[in-house]
Amino acid sequence: MEKIRCYSELVQLPTFEERYRYLRLSGNVCEETFGFDRYMNQAFYRSPEWKRIRDIVITRDCGCDLGVAGHEIFGRILIHHMNPIRPSDIRWRSDFLLNPEYLITTVHETHQAIHYGDEGLLVIAPTQRTRNDTCPWRH
């Protein structure tokens, strides 16, 4: 049985990298994809109930990637289902669908990295430079 990921556990991890590793699916997207049922997926993401919960999650996470301070999102914000959803989740309105406990804010690159397990897709903050940090004999 697959481990159920939740926000309560995620926020116990202090760093962006730890949170990414907790969420990483390593290319194991759910077996049943939306395929023909893609219309359900698209209709759901346009619904007023989704838009309302989306705003709640963005506010809770302070608009930061994976809810980590210092990783503010300045472009398009995505809401990631921490546990992949299936057509049956939409059809039967499972708890994973609209419960903030199973949702997290992210950007496209992080979302792709989570699904495909590729850390190379993550946006890494620039290195903080200090005086003489490139000159080993001056430390």
User: Which pLDDT score, from 0 to 100, does residue 20 have?
Assistant: 95
pTM of the entire structure?
0.82
DSSP letter at 79 equals E
Distance CA 96, CA 136 (A): 51
Domain ranges of the chain: 7-30+37-118
User: Which pLDDT score, from 0 to 100, does residue 6 have?
Assistant: 96
Query: pLDDT tens digits for the chain (139 residues)?
Result: 478 999 999 999 999 999 999 999 866 554 455 555 677 888 899 999 999 999 999 999 999 999 999 999 999 999 999 998 888 889 898 998 999 999 999 999 999 999 887 887 887 766 666 777 777 676 5
Distance CA 41, CA 20 (A): 24
Distance CA 112, CA 122 (A): 9
User: Which pLDDT score, from 0 to 100, does residue 139 have?
Assistant: 56
Burial track 33-53 (b if 16+ CB lie within 10 A, e otherwise):
eeeeeeeebeebeeeeeeeeb
User: Which pLDDT score, from 0 to 100, does residue 27 have?
Assistant: 63
Q: State the first-to-last Cα distance of the chain, in angstroms, to the nearest integer.
A: 51
